[in-house]
Structure formats: C-alpha cells, structure tokens
Amino acid sequence: MVISKILLSFLLLAVLSLAFPMHADGREYTHTLAAGSRWGKGRSSNITNTVNKTSTLALELGSRPGKCSGRPKLYRKAWHTLTATERKAYIDAELCMMKLPARLTSINPAVRNLFDDMQAVHQIQSDHIHSSGHFLPFHRYHMWAHETLLREACGYTGAQPFWEEQQDAGKFALSPIFSPETGFGSATGTGEDSCVSDGPFAGMMLSVGPGYSNQFHCLSREVNETASLMSAKVNVDACLQLPTFGKSWPCIENLPHRGGHNGVMGEMSNAVSSPGDPLFYLHHTYIDKLWWEWQSQDLNSRLTQIAGMTTSRKPATGWVLATLNDTLTLHGLVRDLRISELMDIQSDLLCYDYVL
Ligand SMILES: [Cu+2]
C-alpha cells in the first residue's frame, strides 16, 4: 500500500514534469491560450518521500473555544455539498458583484465593476504574490475579501464555498461544479477561443487580462485532465505532511494549486489574470483550506510560521525575507492587513472555518 502510493507519486510527478516543463522565470504570459501562460516554477522534487503517513487531519480541525467572539463564524463548505438553493445564492451574489460600480479605475482604467476590481488587484501584484512567501497569505486575504464583499455589497448570507478538487482529479470535466444548471457552466468552452457558452457565465467577456494586458476577450475554459491529475490526493497528502511552512507552501503551490489552474486551463491557467474566472475563488478557497489543514496539525507553532521571500524575483536592491509584519494590500477594497492578522482563520477578524 505504502509502496504503491510512493510509486504512484513518482509516476505522477514524472508524467507531469513532462507535460508541464518549468519556465526559467516561473511563468510565461502570452495572449493565446494555446501558447500557455500556464503556471510553472518547480520546487516539487522534495515531496516524493513523504507519502507514507495517513492523514489524521480531520480529528484536529474544528472550533477552538473563545475565538470568533461576538458574531457567528462562517462555515465554508465544498461546492458539491451545497443545496441547489445555496448554489444559486452564491452565483447570484457573484453576478451582483459584476453589476456594482468599479472602485479602482485609478489602478486599472479597464475595470468595469467590482468583480473586475478583484481581478485587477491580483493582476497588478502578480509578480510578488506567487512563488513567494506571500503566496498563501495573499490569497487567503483575497478570498476573505471576496467573501466579505459578496456579503456586504451583495447581501449574500452564506460563506465562501470551495471546490474539493482532489476528488475530481483526473476527471474535472465530470465535476458538478461545471453543471450549466447549478454550477459554473462549460468545462470546455466552444469555438476557437474555447469561450464559456453555457451556465450563468455564458458569453462572459473580460476586460482585464489576459495576463498583464487589458484586451476585451471571452472567459475561456478547456479542461485538461493530465494537468488535473496534479490535484490528486496523493500529492495533497504529500504536501500536508511536510514539516515546515517553507517546505509545505511550495509543494501546495506547485502541485494542487497548479492542478486546479492548469486543469481548468483557459483564463484559469493565466497566472496573472485568472481571477477573471469566477471559479478562481472556489479554487483558491480550497488552497486556503489545504494551508489551514497543514496549520491545524500543530497550531502552536504553525500560526506563526512564515518563510520565503517577499518577491518571486530578486529585486535590484536584493532579496527581502517575508515576515509576519509585512503588510498586504487590496488597494482599499478592504483594509490593508498584516500577514500576522491572516494566520488564524478563527480569529475575531477572519472568523471562518472549513467544513470537511
Ligand atoms: Cu494568484
């Protein structure tokens, strides 16, 4: 059993490294889908010898007393467990975000609405929020802001759902998340550009992206099951068993994180402009859950563990180590936060939890 898991893991990594060669600078941004802009950057070689423990995470997750006082905690659930009514409420709130006026035309004149604002704040910071110590904290912050805006600006009363990707690995196209009736529509779009053509986002056009550009283009998807295998449980387990943030974060970023992005392809595979696909928020909430599962194994030490640098490339002035004191910004969509304020999802500020 253990041996076969290890073999499977080696096999997966071998297949995937062939399918997704790493780029020297980690990412490549081109304007054609075929040419890629896929998530790259590999530091995955250190994970293959750690798959021999079974997960005991479920026992350790859950509420801690005395936290989140004064208001009800939000329980984030997997999309496939939501009722049809809950799914509709979430999609309706997302559509509402797309109708609210933009706030950040000063940082990107292409934004048309609040949904675009959320894409623009990711686009403009893409270079330092990926392949850096800020990767997991920034995206936790971005997901929390999304949830907060859905609730405060659009009257949504639920929590931010996530996509439990490991159970769909290798068969993304069959996931209920792509249902045209109760999900996000088209696993693979139509036409030369693979434009999403059914479901609530059928015909959706984006004005931010692709990549760092701002060109009117359709929301595209083109599920790739070779890439979606990167989201396999064996990889997730391997990442969660790594002993330090400095080891676990790159593993999460390189395997399940890339699996979700490149498995969906289209806009999702663009490292810079991927929040143009509403699915982005369910994907990154899942990635946030994985980080929390890792933290939950030893909260005493892991609520304060950070590692890596503040950027993905060496600045002219030299590398800077990421610290808990670093401030992250969403350009005023919600207030700036220090990484230390983002470490505990059960704090009074964040106040959410994951339902397994
Ligand atoms: Cu990102």
DSSP 5-55: HHHHHHHHHHHHHHHSPPPTTSB---SSTTT---B----GGGGTT---S--
The length of the chain is 356
75 C-alpha to ligand 1 centroid (Å): 23
291 C-alpha to ligand 1 centroid (Å): 15
262 CA to centre of own chain? 12
User: Exposed/middle/buried for 71, CB within 10 Å: 0-12, 13-18, 19+?
Assistant: exposed
User: Exposed/middle/buried for 299, CB within 10 Å: 0-12, 13-18, 19+?
Assistant: middle
d(CA 41, CA 129): 13
Global pTM value: 0.85
1 C-alpha to ligand 1 centroid (Å): 35
pLDDT along the chain (356 residues), means of 10: 47 40 30 38 34 34 59 94 98 98 98 98 96 98 98 98 98 98 98 98 98 98 98 98 98 98 98 98 98 98 98 95 98 98 95 92
99 C-alpha to ligand 1 centroid (Å): 23
351 C-alpha to ligand 1 centroid (Å): 22
What 8-state DSSP symbol labels residue 167?
G
User: Exposed/middle/buried for 324, CB within 10 Å: 0-12, 13-18, 19+?
Assistant: middle
263 C-alpha to ligand 1 centroid (Å): 15
119 C-alpha to ligand 1 centroid (Å): 10
| Cβ proximity of 139 and 284 under 8 Å | yes
62 C-alpha to ligand 1 centroid (Å): 27
61 C-alpha to ligand 1 centroid (Å): 25
| Cβ proximity of 267 and 276 under 8 Å | yes
271 C-alpha to ligand 1 centroid (Å): 6
| Cβ proximity of 120 and 104 under 8 Å | yes
The predicted structure's pLDDT at residue 63: 53
Among residues 222, 217, 176, the alpha carbon closest in space to that of 199 is found at 176
141 C-alpha to ligand 1 centroid (Å): 11
What CATH number is attached to the domain comprising 96?
A: 1.10.1280.10
171 C-alpha to ligand 1 centroid (Å): 23
The predicted structure's pLDDT at residue 64: 59
Q: Which two tokens stand for residue 134?
A: 């800020």
Task: For residue 81, give its domain range.
Answer: 2-354
d(CA 21, CA 30): 16
Among residues 156, 192, 183, 154, the alpha carbon closest in space to that of 277 is found at 183
39 C-alpha to ligand 1 centroid (Å): 10
29 C-alpha to ligand 1 centroid (Å): 14
What is the tally of structural domains in the chain?
1
202 C-alpha to ligand 1 centroid (Å): 23
7 C-alpha to ligand 1 centroid (Å): 31
116 C-alpha to ligand 1 centroid (Å): 14
133 C-alpha to ligand 1 centroid (Å): 13
